[in-house]
């Protein structure tokens, strides 16, 4: 009993350590005072001031635009790649899976620097396109990892049955395989979208003048001194990530419930 209580206290302290700074940031985004040590009353003025800032609005536009296109393109490429990997033999599949893990475990600063050198070596101007390509590059492995479990849990004889009944490979892909792995595809898209919004290091190395995202703007604002608008901006980004995580978990819960229902039936 004592050991169990110690474990609970330990976990409570860990969560306090992790989430207390975030809670303070959110609370002080509504503080009327510019001082972090003084509560001047509840206000929304920092949020109003935030959306009156042209740099913030431009960064938000590029952040959402890059995240949407990067997530969409990487989802298409990642899904097709996962299907290809699933159909490989065990040996080649293991090799390609290890290659797929490299961008996931590779430090962001190494990935960002190597991509920047690649773009400069081919005389490619750094800007929107370079940032988009970079986000697609680091999003694809996560999409593959999200789709592969759904392929492994799928009945592999469904596509073969469709082909035996006269369906073309492309028709079987669109009407049989894709609907079966759709939860994994949606999860991969949401993860890619979240990672793209959250990225700083790779974006910092691969962007150019006139194109920036929210994480870079926050870093630039913080270097000039932490202002309450940064708290407001960080709170909105936190809210966006929480909404996406909620959607991911909700989709996974519905999928698991449907699978249990089908199994019981």
Q: What is the pLDDT of residues 155-210, one digit of tens each?
A: 777 777 887 777 787 878 888 888 888 888 988 998 898 889 888 899 999 988 88
As a whole number of angstroms, the distance between CA 152 and CA 127 comes to 39
Mean pLDDT for 78-96 is: 88
Indicate whether this model's pTM tops 0.85.
Answer: no
Name the CA radius of gyration of the chain, rounded: 23
User: Which CATH architecture describes the domain 62-257?
Assistant: Orthogonal Bundle (1.10)
Per DSSP, the residues of 192-259 read HHHHHHH--HHHHHH--TT---HHHHHHHHHHT---HHHHHHHHHHHHHHHHHHHHHHHHHHHHHHHH
d(CA 58, CA 80): 33
Domain ranges of the chain: 62-257
Cβ–Cβ under 8 Å, residues 71 and 196? yes
Q: Which range (70-79, 107-116, 170-179) has the least confidence?
A: 170-179
Q: How confident is the model at residue 88 (pLDDT cuts 50, 70, 90)?
A: confident
66 and 199 Cβ atoms separated by less than 8 Å: no
Residues 6+ apart with CB under 8 A from 26: 231, 235, 238
**What size, in residues, is the chain?**
265
Residue 135: per-residue pLDDT: 94
Report the helix count and the strand count for the chain, using DSSP H and E: 12, 0
Going by pLDDT thresholds of 50, 70 and 90, the confidence category of residue 264 is very low
Q: Which residue has the higher pLDDT, 246 or 75?
A: 75
In the chain, % of residues over pLDDT 90: 23
pLDDT average, residue stretch 105-121:
91
In the numeric block, which tokens belong to residue 174?
Answer: 């669109």
């Amino acid at each position: 009993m004592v050991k169990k209580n110690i474990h609970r206290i330990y976990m409570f302290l860990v969560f306090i350590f992790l989430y207390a700074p975030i809670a303070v940031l959110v609370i002080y985004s509504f503080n009327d005072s510019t001082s972090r040590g003084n509560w001047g009353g509840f206000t929304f003025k920092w949020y109003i001031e935030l959306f009156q800032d042209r740099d913030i609005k431009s960064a938000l536009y590029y952040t959402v635009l890059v995240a949407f296109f990067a997530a969409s393109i990487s989802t298409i490429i990642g899904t097709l790649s996962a299907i290809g990997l699933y159909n490989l033999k065990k040996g080649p599949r293991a090799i390609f899976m290890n290659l797929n893990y490299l961008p996931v475990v590779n430090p962001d600063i190494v990935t960002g620097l190597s991509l920047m050198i690649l773009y400069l070596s081919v005389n490619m101007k750094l800007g929107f396109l370079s940032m988009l390509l970079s986000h697609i590059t680091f999003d694809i492995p996560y999409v593959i990892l999200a789709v592969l479990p759904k392929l492994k849990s799928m009945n592999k004889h469904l596509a073969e049955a469709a082909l035996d009944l006269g369906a073309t490979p492309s028709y079987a892909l669109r009407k049989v395989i894709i609907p079966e792995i759709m939860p994994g595809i949606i999860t991969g898209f949401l993860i890619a979208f979240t990672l793209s919004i959250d990225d700083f290091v790779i974006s910092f190395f691969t962007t150019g003048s006139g194109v920036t995202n929210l994480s870079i703007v926050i870093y630039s604002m913080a270097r000039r001194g932490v202002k309450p608008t940064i708290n407001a901006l960080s709170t909105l980004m936190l809210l966006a990530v929480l909404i996406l995580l909620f959607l991911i978990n909700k989709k996974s819960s519905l999928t698991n419930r449907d699978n249990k229902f089908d199994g019981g039936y």
